[in-house]
Structure 1
Amino acid sequence: MITHFYPVALRIITCVIAVCSAVSATLLWTAPPPQEFPVLEPAYVQLGAVFLLVVLGVVVPVAALIAEPLKYLLLKIGLFTAAGFGNALMLSPLIVVPLQETFTAVAAICSAALTIASIVTYMESVERRNARRRATT
């Protein structure tokens, strides 16, 4: 059942992840650097967080849309898991800014949902393949 709606859900939820991550990165970039790091340079911490959020939150999910929706499902599972972890890392109380945590939380939840949907779709495709194999033998 989920395989039927997976291509549409992939496009919609991936766009939500990318937009929320981009807004979150923008809010994090425009905020003043966090001062809670006595050893690390605060500007570098902020730059690293923004870079991580852009790469794992925007680039990686959009790259998953390049292939056909029902192909390379294991790769998509890994990509959306990485996007979810990247967004979840930005929920640290040391670097979070107002309103950014909302967009980051939405992106992390959507990444987790898309990871689960990709796993279910992959398992359904494996089950169909096994059923076809059993029917031919």
Structure 2
Amino acid sequence: MPTNDEDLLVITHFYPAALRILTCVVAVCSAVAATLLGTAPPPEGLKVLDPADLRTTAVILTMALGVVAPVAMMIVDPLKCLLLKACVFTASAMGNALMLSPLLVVPFQETPTAMAVVCSIAVTLASIVTFMESIERRNARRRANT
């Protein structure tokens, strides 16, 4: 029966592959959701906000936070800048979650948006666990050298 330490090592061991796979899922799902929103008519029933501007802003934010930023994090070495990756994927999850607003959502958009949110949260958690594991390894090496 594996212990918690062995579970952490498994997450750290598979983190680079999981990062690539989940980043691709986030980018594709975000792009699909942004495309669906961009091709839909502007939302109706808004009194204060301009519907076309709201839709355009949502599409741009989704492309920036859901596609460009995660793909940029994939370019960096998988085991470097782990806290930055956690922050970027948290922002990606929040940006995609905002797309689920009843004012913005269009048919067929909910599924790719929800998948992007879940995958972004998974990468965030994996990045934090991997970061904590690297700190633990560094502290263990420091204790062994002392």
Q: TM-score, normalised by structure 2?
A: 0.92
| Number of the residue aligned with 2:54 | 45
1:13 to 22, 31, 34: 22
* Identity across matched positions, percent: 68
| Number of the residue aligned with 2:88 | 79
Shift of 1:134: 0.3
SS of equivalent to 2:107: coil
CA RMSD of aligned residues (A): 0.6
1:34 to 43, 46, 49: 43
| Number of the residue aligned with 1:90 | 99
Shift of 1:121: 0.4
Q: Deviations over 1:67-126 (max 9, x none)?
A: 100011011011111101010110101110011111100000000011000010001000
SS of equivalent to 2:75: coil
Shift of 1:37: 1.0
2:127 to 94, 118, 134: 118
Kindly provide the amino acid, as one letter, of the partner of residue 52 in structure 2. Answer: A
Runs of 4+ in 1 over 3 A off after TM superposition: none
Q: Deviations over 1:20-47 (max 9, x none)?
A: 0000000000000001211211100100
For structure 1, the 5+ residue unaligned runs are: none
Tell me the matched-pair count: 137
Matches within 5 A, 1:100-115: 100-115=109-124
| Number of the residue aligned with 1:60 | 69
| Number of the residue aligned with 1:133 | 142
Kindly provide the amino acid, as one letter, of the partner of residue 81 in structure 1. Answer: T
Q: TM-score, normalised by structure 1?
A: 0.98
Q: Distance in 2 between matches of 1:33 and 1:73?
A: 38
Q: Distance in 2 between matches of 1:42 and 1:91?
A: 16
For structure 2, the 5+ residue unaligned runs are: 1-9
Q: Distance in 1 between matches of 2:105 and 2:90?
A: 21
Kindly provide the amino acid, as one letter, of the partner of residue 62 in structure 2. Answer: L
